[in-house]
Amino acid sequence: MSGQNDDPTRWGVSADQRQRLVQLAYRFVWNREDAEDATQDAIIAAHEKREELRDESKWWPWVRRIVVRRSLLVRRQAARRRESDSAKPWFVYQRVADDAIERNERLAGMRRAIDALPDRQRMAVTLRYLEQMSYPEIAEIMELSETTVRVHVCHGLESLRSAMRETEAVGKEPGSR
Amino acid sequence: MKTRDCEEIRLALIERIEHAQPVAGDPNVDRHMRSCAACRTFAKEVAVLVADLAELRELSRLKVLPDENRAGFRRVAHRLRWAIGMAAVLAMSFGLWQVNRSVDEVIVDAGPDVIATPMERPGTVVRLRGESKEKYFLVEKESKRSGVRVIWLHRQFTGVADKDDEAGPGHGGVDVLKKTRVS
């Protein structure tokens, strides 16, 4: 997108807030370009639906919720794209989050294990441990009770634990292409 | 085997691990942990996982590009690009002009040793090749009869007569250094 749509102030989001949203999206899509796109779409969607927001004080969690949902959608689309491109060399389509992560096999495996979690567990674990949000904040974004979020975090950690254990046992990363 | 108690205990364990508190301390948790090997393993592994997640968080922190999304920055960058472009064009033009000028300096009008361009008007102070100081000046004369332009190069009088000196030392304070006929 270009022109007016690039102007963050036009959509009521400061450059700093936008950066934080891109970082949030990145933790779900693991690709800067996709994160930028997801954020931009989410900001526009938030602007268009602003009338629906009755309580202005809830604006920030609301925008973050839209970014998370949009990121999950982008991630799914990217996964489908990868599947349809599976006949082509994998390395061309491999999205690398960060060279440093790729160098660290254990963390790369963990990243893929997080990606393989069911959506709610993934959201809960990502927002809690990668975005360092509080449980009330996560509850607001996920539109769940705090207790339910805690349960999702717990189950997410259990799933991650099993995935990592399998990885170490088999010597193969979960979801590896 | 995981029981309903385990679920509650594990939530409590996570809370403690997240706040870097020792797993032991709560009597209920301690009692359960003594009897449940699965939860003991869970506590150890989750502590490692949480540490790994913290490392992953740091490594996946995006580098903030310098104000890349600010409209103001883009405007400035746009103007800067234009300014750099214009400066480059001007520099190239000036360079080309200088090259042409230096070619012209192998003067046809005033002789091969004279640093002057055809644009130099009579009276312009010029210098010879290999000399650093500009101590000569051009005098232009035109023969009306033949239509031939003659450029004389004069030197400021130094008191020593030149063999080509037309007027002799002291005449008008100049020596004739060179005469070139230009058609």
CATH of the domain at A125: 1.10.10.10
pLDDT at position A106: 79
Single out the residue in A62, A95, A128 at which a domain terminates: A95
Residue A81 or residue A15, greater confidence: A15
Residue that finishes a domain, picked among A72, A95, A118: A95
pLDDT at A25: 93
Q: Give yes or no: residues A40 and A104 share one domain.
A: no
Task: Give me the residue from A22, A107, A164 closest to B62, CB to CB.
Answer: A22
A100 vs chain B: nearest CA distance in angstroms? 7
Q: Are residues A107 and A33 in the same domain?
A: no
Average pLDDT for chain A:
79
Q: Are B69 and A8 in contact (CB < 8 Å)? A: yes
Tell me which residue range forms the domain holding A102. Answer: 98-177
The count of domains in chain A is 2
DSSP tally for chain A: helices H, then strands E: 9, 0
B125-129: long-range contacts (C-beta < 8 A, 24 or more apart)? B126/B153
Identify whether residues A158 and A89 lie together within a single domain. no
Distance to chain A for B9, nearest Cα, Å: 11
Note whether A72 and A153 are same-domain residues: no
- B54 in reach of chain A (CB within 8 A): yes
Are both A52 and A126 inside the same structural domain?
A: no
Same domain, A47 and A132: no
The full DSSP string for A104-118 is SHHHHHHHHHHHTS-
pLDDT of B88 above 90? yes
Domain's final residue, options A66, A95, A124: A95
Q: What's the ipTM? A: 0.75
Mean pLDDT of all residues in B92-110: 58
Q: Do B46 and A161 touch (CB under 8 A)?
A: yes
Comparison of pLDDT for B92 and A1, the residue scoring more: B92
Q: Does A155 touch chain B (CB under 8 A)?
A: no
Are the Cβ atoms of A98 and B59 closer than 8 angstroms? yes
Name every residue whose Cβ is closer than 8 Å to that of residue A107 and which is 6 or more positions away in sequence: A101, B52, B55, B56, B59
Confidence of residue B19 (pLDDT cuts 50, 70, 90): confident
Q: Are residues A83 and A121 in the same domain?
A: no
Residue B179 φ/ψ, nearest 5 degrees: -125, 130
Tell me, what's the pLDDT at A147? 93
- Is the pLDDT at B164 greater than 50, yes or no? no
What are the φ/ψ torsions at residue B161 (nearest 5 degrees)?
-70, 135
Residue B155 has pLDDT above 80, yes or no: no
B8: nearest CA partner in chain A: A151
B183 has pLDDT over 50: no
